[in-house]
Structure formats: C-alpha cells, structure tokens
Amino acid sequence: MTEPSSQGGDVDTIVSVRVATVLHELEVPIVFGSWVMRHREFALVRIDAESGLRGFAYCLTRDGPLAALVGRTIAPAYRGRPVDDPSGAFHAALWSNNAVHAAGLGMRALSVVDIAAWDLAAKAAGRNMTEFLGGKRAPMPVTGIVGYPPSISPAATVDQIAGLWAQGWRRFKLPIAPTPDASVARLQAAREAFPDAWLGIDNNFFSKTAADAIAFGRRLDGLDIGWFEDIVPPGDAGMVAEIRAAIETPVAMGDEQGGSYHPEALLRAEAVDVLRVDATTNGGITRLRPIVARAIAAGVRVAPHMFPHVHSQVLCAFGRHEAPIEWGIPGSGVHPMDDSLLQPVVHDGLMDPLPDLPGLGTMVDPAWIATQRVDDPDGVLDDL
C-alpha cells in the first residue's frame, strides 16, 4: 500500500505507545436505568516513530483500566515494528494474548491503538486516511445526536432539532428518556414538528428481556422510526432476533460489542437490519474493513457509532458513502472529546469531506484537555 518511511535508508519504526486518560465531568448525569454516567472518560493514545512522526486516536474507556492494559500487554508488541505495517502490528499484539485481547476491554484497548497506528502510517505516507486506505472522499449523510441530557423535555428536544435543521441536518437520533412514556412523548413531538426528518432511538441497553423490549418497540409503531438501537445488553443474538421478528421498527445493534464473534453472531441469527460498527471497539481500522464487507455480503446495512473524525474517513475509504456519520451537539455531553475539534459543514443532510490533512487530521486539542481531569504519567501531552 505504501513505501516504508525512512531516515538514512532505514525503515522507520515505532518507539513508543503511550496513553493519557481524560475525564470530563458532566453537568447533568446521564441515567439509563441502572447505568448512571456522571462523566465521560476517554483514553488518548499516542504512538511515536523513530522519525519523530506521531499518530493519535482516542476512545471511551467506559471506566475500564485501558491505559494500564495498553502499557502491559499491547505496547510491547508494537515497539520496534515498522510504521508502514499497522495490520501486522495489530495481529502481533492480538495473538500475544488471545485470552485478553479477543474481546471486551482488551479488544477496545487494541482497537484504539490500531487506529493511532494507521494515523501514523498515513502521515508517514503524506496521505489523508481515505486515500491512504485506497478510497475516494465524498459527501456523507450525518445524524445529529439530540435529546441530551435525556431528562430534557419534548419541547427542548424539538428546539435542538430545529437548530440543526436550520443548518441543513435531516437525520436525528434520540436516547431513551427516564421513562418509556417520556421517550415516546419526545419522539412524538419530534415527528409532529419535523414530519420529513429521519428519527431513530437508542435504547442504551435499557431493556433486559425480549418481552420488555417488544412491548416498548410496539409503542414505536406508527411513528416512522428509522431504527431501534442497542435494545438489550450484548450477548444474546437469539433474543435480538426474537425482538426483530416481533416489531415493525428496524433493529440496529453492534455498539460496544467488540469481540472475536462480532458480527458473526448477529448476522447468523438474522438479528439486525443495521449492523452498528465502531472502530474503537470492533478491532480498529484493521478489522473494520472485513466486518463491513461481511455485513454488506449478508444484505445488512452498516452505520457507525460516534467518532465522526475516524468513521467518516474510514467508511468512505471502504466505499460506504451512504453510511450516516454521527455527531453530538457540542456542550450537550454526548461526546465532549469531539466538541472542540473540527465540526462538519452540512448541506441538505450531507457533510462535506473533512479537510485534506495527513492521516486522520487533528485529533487532539491540548487547550481543551488542559481544562479536564487528566492522568498522564507517561507525558503524552508534555510537548503538544
């Protein structure tokens, strides 16, 4: 794909993989049943090359000790490897500890390191990520994440949609509210105010049984909802298939399900209309291409979970120009690590390609990070 970077004829190699943890306190806690979020915590990964080039990526930690895991089981497999072979480094790390890296926090940690390694490789080649991966840049549909904090009223939710609609947005996704009645009321208000909008709902794993999920899903009938997402906790594809068969609204699942059997279980069970993908949990950029290809071969659409600066460039490279890219409203608490980075330019529901910069472009805002609670024992931020 690329020629090796060099200094004095030597292949450029990775010299360090480091992680800083950035915690953003939420002004209003986010409550999804027993799941209560009082903060959003991110792991910022930095990979340095012998040449002085640097690659970056970040992910949600979900309060797991991601930095410690990278330092102990992943970074050693990357050090000394050539910059221009991120896929080889990924598999070297994966196979060094199959028990830990195959799923869960281990796969999440490996995924974000993989993204930073691809960022570094593309920078070494002097190419933007889409072109480096062999694709062409193009406009892509965008989804605005509205209704945060989930406790805001139907009127406030409609106001958020109205602000984005005036800027050219046409797709909007809401999280569940504190009660099913409140969730339905917000969706009804949004549908009445914007009859032509695409609307989706994220259940945030609130339902725990098929019966509960089906009961709520049937209340969505008649509202023309684009999808019912993250309905039940990961782990039972058969239950998801049962829910899908019992409701009219399309089912979207796959968030937070990074592991060796994603997406096989969901696809084999014919459990989803839309496969949700996330490079930060599903295996980085290295694994995302075969995951997407497998879903498309099964006749299932794909849609990414947040991280728009990564997913817009990578999915475009894979030819999935129709995949909707999610953006949170800055300041609403959806995804604060994105808020101070470049925001999209939107026209009639489509975002322009991000600026043509090497790699993934600018993925770090040191000024914003300096205002947060930061744990950076290895000096990731010292010279930024």
**CA separation for the pair 54, 2 (Å, rounded):** 17
Q: So what's the pLDDT on residue 131?
A: 98
- Model confidence pLDDT, tens digit, residues 248-297: 999 999 988 767 788 999 999 999 999 999 999 999 999 999 999 999 99
User: Buried b / exposed e across 155-191, counting CB within 10 Å, b at 16+?
Assistant: eebbebbeebbeeebbbbbbbbbeeeebbbebbebbb
Asked if pLDDT for residue 2 goes beyond 50, the answer is: no
The total number of structural domains in the chain stands at: 2
Average pLDDT, integer, range 303-327:
98
| Model confidence band, residue 55 (pLDDT cutoffs 50, 70, 90) | very high
| Model confidence band, residue 4 (pLDDT cutoffs 50, 70, 90) | very low
Asked if pLDDT for residue 204 goes beyond 70, the answer is: yes
Q: So what's the pLDDT on residue 34?
A: 79
Q: Which domain holds residue 64?
A: 6-126+363-375
- Model confidence pLDDT, tens digit, residues 104-135: 999 999 999 999 999 999 999 999 999 999 99
Place of tokens 């209309």: 273
Q: So what's the pLDDT on residue 35?
A: 80
**CA separation for the pair 280, 112 (Å, rounded):** 5
Indicate whether 201 and 84 sit together in one domain.
Answer: no
Is residue 58 included in any domain, yes or no?
A: yes
Q: Is the distance from CB of 185 to CB of 198 less than 8 angstroms? A: no
Whole-prediction pTM value? 0.95
**CA separation for the pair 148, 267 (Å, rounded):** 31
Indicate whether 200 and 337 sit together in one domain.
Answer: yes
First to last CA, the chain: 30
Task: Give the single-character DSSP code of 377.
Answer: T
Closest CA to 62 of 280, 263, 368, 291: 280
Q: So what's the pLDDT on residue 306?
A: 97
Q: Where are the alpha helices (DSSP H) in 128-199?
A: 129-132, 154-166, 180-193
Indicate whether 222 and 303 sit together in one domain.
Answer: yes
**CA separation for the pair 357, 360 (Å, rounded):** 7
Q: So what's the pLDDT on residue 45?
A: 98
Indicate whether 247 and 204 sit together in one domain.
Answer: yes
| Model confidence band, residue 5 (pLDDT cutoffs 50, 70, 90) | very low
Indicate whether 82 and 187 sit together in one domain.
Answer: no
CATH code of the domain containing 113 = 3.30.390.10
Burial class (CB in 10 A: 0-12, 13-18, 19+), 342: middle
Distance of CA 66 to the CA centre of its chain: 16
* Token duo for residue 1: 């794909």
**CA separation for the pair 323, 74 (Å, rounded):** 31
Indicate whether 79 and 186 sit together in one domain.
Answer: no
CATH code of the domain containing 233 = 3.20.20.120
- Model confidence pLDDT, tens digit, residues 14-48: 999 999 999 999 988 888 877 888 899 999 999 99
Run of H or E including 20: strand 14-32
Q: Is the distance from CB of 277 to CB of 291 less than 8 angstroms? A: yes
Is residue 358 included in any domain, yes or no?
A: no
Q: So what's the pLDDT on residue 9?
A: 55
Average pLDDT, integer, range 352-359:
98
Closest CA to 75 of 87, 85, 67: 67
Single-letter residue type at 349: G
- Model confidence pLDDT, tens digit, residues 222-247: 999 999 999 999 989 999 999 999 99
Indicate whether 158 and 112 sit together in one domain.
Answer: no
| Model confidence band, residue 302 (pLDDT cutoffs 50, 70, 90) | very high
